[in-house]
């Protein structure tokens, strides 16, 4: 009898603990832990690349040097190819071009009253540029010094600003515009974005203004920035009752709707029927 009484007294305490750990505060805590974990997971590869670059790890140094020398010989033998590379890296995939595309996207989002999505795109692009600049000046890695250089670039080398800008800009454009693309056509924007990101990396190394590790570092840092800001945007969606999305769906699938894309999602309730 005493055991039954003690058990019945403990039940409210157990229920209170369960309610406390399943409420909105617990949900926020889980999202926060998930965001920190995911951001750390994508930041670790960049941190590792930075350590290897700073320590002049011999295998990485040999890879950088061998690739730069081989591509430089090819550039010297094909001047016309150098002009093509210079056009793509200096016009088509130039950071200014990429940022103008993101700026145009932000303006379009503002016309659709997608304030938070426009803010996310602008903050991601701006923070990516600022973080890349700060890291580049903190590391102060020298650019390749090659005989008879075919191109020149100012500033330091690691990480590649072209590569990082291409990664962040293409990610922003994809995550915003994918919902507007019919599903059968969605491999096309992915292919275009992949071509731009890889193409930028190749042009920078082939022109002799960056090492391979500079390009990889720019890609990794760009991914880390986009992941951190995208998780913050996903937390806002969760707070407003919107369902979770995947990368293939874009950040805001509701952007295709003619109504306010940021109107809070309200659960639908079945109609109440009165008895006779």
| Residues involved in catalysis | 162, 210
Cis peptide bond prior to 227, omega within 30° of 0: no
Give the DSSP letter string of 135-198: HHHHH-PPPP--SS-S----S--SS-HHHHHHHHHHHHHHHHHGGGS-GGGTHHHHHHHHHHHH
- In whole angstroms, give the CA distance from residue 141 to residue 139: 6
CA nearest neighbour of 163 among 123, 124, 122, 209:
209
* Non-local CB neighbours of 46 within 8 Å, separated by 6+ positions: 159, 217, 220, 221, 224
């Amino acid at each position: 009898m005493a055991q039954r009484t003690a058990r019945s007294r403990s039940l409210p305490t157990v229920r209170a603990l369960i309610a406390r750990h399943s409420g909105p505060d617990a949900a926020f805590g889980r999202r926060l832990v998930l965001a920190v974990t995911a951001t750390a997971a994508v930041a670790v590869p960049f941190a590792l690349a930075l350590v290897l670059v700073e320590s002049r790890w011999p295998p990485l140094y040999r890879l950088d040097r061998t690739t730069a020398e081989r591509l430089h010989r090819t550039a010297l033998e094909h001047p016309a190819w150098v002009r093509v590379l210079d056009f793509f890296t200096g016009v088509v995939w130039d950071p200014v071009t990429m940022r103008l595309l993101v700026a145009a996207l932000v303006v379009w989002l503002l016309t659709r009253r997608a304030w938070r999505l426009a803010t996310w795109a602008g903050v991601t692009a701006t923070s990516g540029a600022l973080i890349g600049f700060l890291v580049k000046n903190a590391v102060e890695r020298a650019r390749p010094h090659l005989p008879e250089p075919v191109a020149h670039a100012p500033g330091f080398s690691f990480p590649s600003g072209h590569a990082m800008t291409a990664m962040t800009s293409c990610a922003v454009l994809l995550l915003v515009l994918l919902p507007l693309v019919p599903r059968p056509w969605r491999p096309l924007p992915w292919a275009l974005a992949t071509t731009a990101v890889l193409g930028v990396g190749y042009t920078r190394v082939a022109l002799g203004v960056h090492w391979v590790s500079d390009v990889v570092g720019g890609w990794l840092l760009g991914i880390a920035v986009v992941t951190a800001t995208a998780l913050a945007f996903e937390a806002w969606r969760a707070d407003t009752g919107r369902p979770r999305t995947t990368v293939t769906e874009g950040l805001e699938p509701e952007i295709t709707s003619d109504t306010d894309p940021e109107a809070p999602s309200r659960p639908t309730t079945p109609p109440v029927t009165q008895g006779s």
